[in-house]
Every structure is written in structure tokens, then in C-alpha cells.
């Protein structure tokens, strides 16, 4: 799995019918080149409709579409003054069916800190009942020891907030909705932006 702030290839802005291990998001109309060095900007709160989940872009200004492929969709925003980077993602996985949701969430979240570059400093998982289907909340702090910035390679903390759920109909699919910040300090703004993004991700009507 990609790190929360690893650049992605940007492909488009609606869902395209493809396959992720046999089943993934469909319905994209690709409007951007297959490869680009500059992620296209996205309007605040823009809706991307899909058959399994509907995704709203983050509600604030300055976000760009950083990923739209067979792994999911991602948005990124950078503060050129402070160097702080924010990422908002909806990623899809198909874990071992024998895993319960909490175990699957631990496996998925663990993929964010694989390798020598990342050091996990803090993790917390909680099964919650805030939606009509089971979800797991994840909070983590990960040290990116080789973060690439305009000032060069530095070590920066990444604050990760995730809502992970199994699709109530397509039960083989698990969605990881994540809002993260690299650099700076975690504060109320991080929490409020994460909650806003989570609320913008839900099932299509009738699902």
C-alpha cells in the first residue's frame, strides 16, 4: 500500500469499470492523461459517484486529485509556506475472508508503515457503531524518516485518521477512508477536516 503522502499517478475524475482482484469501483470517465506530473485541481466538495461508494472531495479549497485508479481515489494539498502536506484517500482492499473487520483493519493500517523508512509511534483501533454497518476507527502516528520536501530529505511525523468498513453488500470489499497530515502538529483542525471527509464518503442511495 502507498504511504499517505506518496505521489500518485492521476488518471481521471469519475469511476471507470475495471477490476481490483476481481471486483472494484466502476463507472469512471477518464478526462486526464494516463500519466501526468501535475495533479489536477478539484473543486471543494465535488461528488464522484460510484456503484459501491460515493466520494466527496474535501470541502476546503486547494486540493488536487492525486489518485484515481484500480486502488481507489486520493486527494492531496500542500502548504508551500510551512511544508505541511495533507492527504485524503479512499482505498479498496480485498482481505482474507477469514479475517474479521478489526483484524482486516490492523492488516490494512499496518501496510502504511512497512519498510525501514517508516516507524510506527502510536496506533489505536476502535470498533464503532456510528453507521448502519460495522466500522473501525484507526488513529496513528508514523515517523517518515525520509520525507521528500523542497528543503530536502527530512524526518517528519504523519498523523493518520482512518475509518475502515466492509461493504454491507459486496462483503469481500473493505474500504479504508483516510485523512492524514505530514509535518506540523496534530490539532483540532486535523480532527475536524478528517471528520468532514469521513462524512463525505457513503454508500449510494439504496445500497
Query: The domain that contains 59 carries what CATH number?
Result: 3.40.1000.10
Q: What predicted TM-score, i.e. pTM, was given to this entire model?
A: 0.81
Domain annotation covers residue 120: yes
Return the beta strands (E) in the chain as ranges: 47-48, 54-56, 64-69, 72-78, 85-93, 118-128, 135-149, 152-166, 174-182, 201-202
At 207 the pLDDT is 64
Domain annotation covers residue 92: yes
At 91 the pLDDT is 96
At 71 the pLDDT is 87
- pLDDT tens readout for residues 94-127: 999 889 999 999 999 888 777 789 999 999 999 9
Domain annotation covers residue 108: yes
At 105 the pLDDT is 96
Domain annotation covers residue 115: yes
Task: Please give the DSSP secondary-structure letter assigned to residue 71.
Answer: T
Domain that holds residue 71: 47-202
Domain count, the chain: 1
Amino acid at each position: 500500500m502507498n504511504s499517505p503522502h506518496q505521489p500518485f499517478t492521476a488518471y481521471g475524475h469519475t469511476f471507470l469499470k475495471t477490476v481490483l482482484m476481481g471486483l472494484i469501483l466502476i463507472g469512471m470517465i477518464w478526462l486526464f492523461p494516463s500519466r501526468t506530473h501535475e495533479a489536477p485541481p478539484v473543486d471543494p466538495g465535488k461528488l464522484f459517484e460510484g456503484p459501491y461508494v460515493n466520494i466527496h472531495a474535501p470541502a476546503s479549497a486547494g486540493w488536487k486529485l492525486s489518485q484515481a485508479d484500480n486502488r481507489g481515489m486520493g486527494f492531496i494539498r500542500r502548504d508551500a509556506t510551512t511544508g505541511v502536506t495533507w492527504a485524503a484517500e479512499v482505498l479498496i482492499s480485498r482481505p482474507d475472508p477469514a479475517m474479521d473487520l478489526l483484524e482486516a483493519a490492523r492488516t490494512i493500517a499496518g501496510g502504511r508503515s512497512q519498510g525501514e523508512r517508516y516507524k510506527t509511534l502510536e496506533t489505536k483501533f476502535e470498533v464503532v457503531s456510528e453507521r448502519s454497518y460495522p466500522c473501525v476507527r484507526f488513529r496513528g502516528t508514523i515517523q517518515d524518516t525520509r520525507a521528500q520536501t523542497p528543503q530536502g530529505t527530512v524526518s517528519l511525523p504523519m498523523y493518520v485518521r482512518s475509518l475502515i468498513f466492509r461493504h454491507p453488500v459486496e462483503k469481500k470489499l473493505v474500504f479504508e477512508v483516510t485523512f492524514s497530515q505530514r509535518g506540523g502538529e496534530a490539532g483540532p483542525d486535523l480532527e475536524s477536516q478528517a471528520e468532514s471527509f469521513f462524512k463525505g464518503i457513503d454508500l449510494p442511495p439504496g445500497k
